[in-house]
Structure 1
Amino acid sequence: MAKEQFFYSQTRQLFTTLENISQRSGVSRGKAFEDLLQACVAALAAETMEPAYFEAIQAHTEGSPGKRGVDLFPKFLAQLIESMSEQDQDLLGDLFEGSISYGEKGQFLTPESVSELMANLTIDAAEKTAEKKTQVINDPCCGTGRMLLKAGEINPQAELCGQDIDARCVRMTALNLSLRGKYGYVVCGNSLTLESKFAYRVGSFYHELPNGRRRGVIREIPLEQTPVPFVTDTTRTATQGLFAQQEADSHEPDQAQKISQTIMEVPQWLFRLEQRMDNVESGNDSDQSIQVEKEESTNTKSVPDNDRVKTQKKLF
């Protein structure tokens, strides 16, 4: 088995707690890590993701109180927050790469120094101050959100949007952004095929409950409420049928040009879809066949923009 290696000393205590959870619950380290991420995200959701929380701890409730794996979940989150306050580094990514993935499937995280360089080369600091509207920064393969974090340092008021096909990375990005007081979206899906599974809205919000108001920093939202385009099951089925028909007719010489033309039109179709999404958002779309839901849930309320600086300084 590969030996654990970490860049930061604070990661070692997180690894020790993770290993203890794995041993207490009798599950693999990878399974314990996945459940920890889901539970931590749900814990910061102001009781809006309780089913996800109970699903995450289900495999860690065996044993007497105080000796169960679930009893160490709060300790892990507390260690993470305390370590991040002492050293502003991607400890979750360090733990993931050094003790979970070991670079499986070529999954290596971009070094933070390189992420900082790329953010500075990509984002114009003067441009962000000249524009009045909120700048949206997207990373279509965000990993643990390192580039988004560096981009957020350059423009603290930007909306950060990350996409990744790995649910573990999506939850690590959501935790990294929310615990640093950032605002944005994190989507679990394939940014090439536009197939998406779920999405999180990151940023301080209030949730009304019968016993009072709760404040959270992560909540799950419908895909329609994200700025990321996605393909519905209906559209995907229709597209697959189109290509299947084209493939069936490919034996005819005069069909070869049509197939090539259809394939070349796909990026143009995606570009037109993006334009339509922009038109709908600005209220200039005359075609009512595409509806984009922008309203937040009736029982949640986002924190005003002027509170963002306060949120970044102090989470609660």
Structure 2
Amino acid sequence: MASPQIDVDEIVATLEQIRQRGHSAHTVFRDWVNLMLFALQDRDDPYLEIVDDYRERGDMAHPDGQRSVDLFAKAFGQLQERMAATDADVLGAVYEEYGMSSDAFGQHFTPHSVCETMAEIAGVGDESDTDDRQTVLDPACGSGRMLLVAGRKQPDALFVGQDKDPLCARMTALNCCFLNLDAYVIQGDSLTVEFQRAWQTSYSSLGGSVRELDDDEVEELHEWVTDAFENTVEAENQPSPTQGADTDSEDRTPPVATSVPSEQASLGAFEGSD
């Protein structure tokens, strides 16, 4: 069940209009997530591949505003309105609510209230006794709900989320972009330290941006995360942290520092799809 404080009925009803045209609920939700992610990255080719698939099914016979691509855009606008009103993981709530009728979903995420408590226990947002930038890591991030809660408490931190489910990783990348966070989102298994794909979201005064990393950057990110974990374990094993070995600050610097042109997460991302 969706989180009780988030009303997603309007969004679900819009997506349901598309599903009733002969698609599965999982396909509609997956395509919606991918369309938003491709649009925000200005990746026209994969975006149009999805749009063309709906066109081939006679979708253009529907009047303007009722074509599937129009309904996907409408759902995007409704998503943004609900996020602005609740400052919460609306996308994950839609996933939970819409997926109740589909065997292909089958996941329920940590309630927002529990995420709030966990962030407090972890000390997110508390003053640090060092000048180092706080890093918040969720190795099984789902839709990124924990990172969003932490992002409201400590927006200047660096956020790293990982999930082996491709759809969950994409939802987290979108959520971090919408909340305008500096983050890396990894598709891969945390237990085996496996990285398949990764996205970087970047803060700007005009709104968040998102881009997918190339293979070399994914490998660089993998090395950085692995080294950071090993350094943390070694530091925790030191008898006295204040007398440990010298720490190279460069080892704590994120590996991918490319400046991403800011594309504010807005309905404008869907313009020009006709």
> TM-score w.r.t. structure 1 length?
0.65
Which of these residues, 7, 10, 22, is aligned with residue 10 of structure 1?
7
Q: Verify the 8 A CA contact 1:185 1:201 in the aligned structure 2.
A: yes
- Look up the SS of the partner of 1:118 in the other structure: helix
- Look up the SS of the partner of 1:195 in the other structure: coil
C-alpha distance in 1 between matches for 2:126 and 2:255 = 33
Which of these residues, 282, 294, 316, is aligned with residue 250 of structure 2?
282
* Larger Rg computed on CA atoms: 1
Cα pair distance change 1:228/1:38, threshold 3 Å: farther
Letter in 1 for 2:114: V
Which of these residues, 29, 34, 53, is aligned with residue 30 of structure 2?
34
User: Any residues of structure 2 matched to 1:175-214 within 5 Å, and which?
Assistant: 175-204=174-203
**Deviations 1:250-297 (CA, angstroms, capped at 9, x unpaired):** xxxxxxxxxxxxxxxxxx9x838998xxx898279xxxxxxx96452x
Which of these residues, 214, 221, 226, is aligned with residue 213 of structure 2?
221
> How big is the alpha-carbon RMSD for the aligned residues of Structure 1 and Structure 2?
3.6
Q: Verify the 8 A CA contact 2:11 2:94 in the aligned structure 1.
A: yes
User: Structure 1 residue 126: deviation in Å?
Assistant: 3.7
Letter in 2 for 1:113: S
C-alpha distance in 2 between matches for 1:5 and 1:158 = 28
Corresponding residue for residue 114 of structure 2: 114
User: Any residues of structure 2 matched to 1:69-148 within 5 Å, and which?
Assistant: 69-100=68-99, 107-123=107-123, 125-128=125-128, 130-148=129-147
Q: Which runs of 5+ in 2 are unaligned?
A: 235-246, 270-274
Letter in 1 for 2:166: A
**Deviations 1:148-205 (CA, angstroms, capped at 9, x unpaired):** 1111122110011100011111121122221122111111111111222211111246
Which of these residues, 34, 38, 44, is aligned with residue 50 of structure 1?
44
Cα pair distance change 1:28/1:167, threshold 3 Å: same
Q: Verify the 8 A CA contact 2:136 2:158 in the aligned structure 1.
A: yes
C-alpha distance in 1 between matches for 2:249 and 2:149 = 27
- Look up the SS of the partner of 2:209 in the other structure: strand
- Look up the SS of the partner of 1:196 in the other structure: coil
Q: Verify the 8 A CA contact 1:205 1:302 in the aligned structure 2.
A: no
Which of these residues, 53, 59, 71, is aligned with residue 59 of structure 1?
53
Corresponding residue for residue 236 of structure 1: none
Identity score, percent:
32
Letter in 2 for 1:123: G
User: Structure 1 residue 104: deviation in Å?
Assistant: 6.9
Structure 1 consecutive aligned stretches of length 4 or more whose deviation exceeds 6 Å: 102-106, 272-275
- Look up the SS of the partner of 1:271 in the other structure: helix
Q: Which runs of 5+ in 1 are unaligned?
A: 207-213, 232-267, 285-291, 304-310
> TM-score w.r.t. structure 2 length?
0.74
Work out which structure has the larger RCO, using CA pairs closer than 8 Å and 6 or more positions apart in sequence: 2
- Look up the SS of the partner of 1:202 in the other structure: strand
- Look up the SS of the partner of 1:190 in the other structure: coil
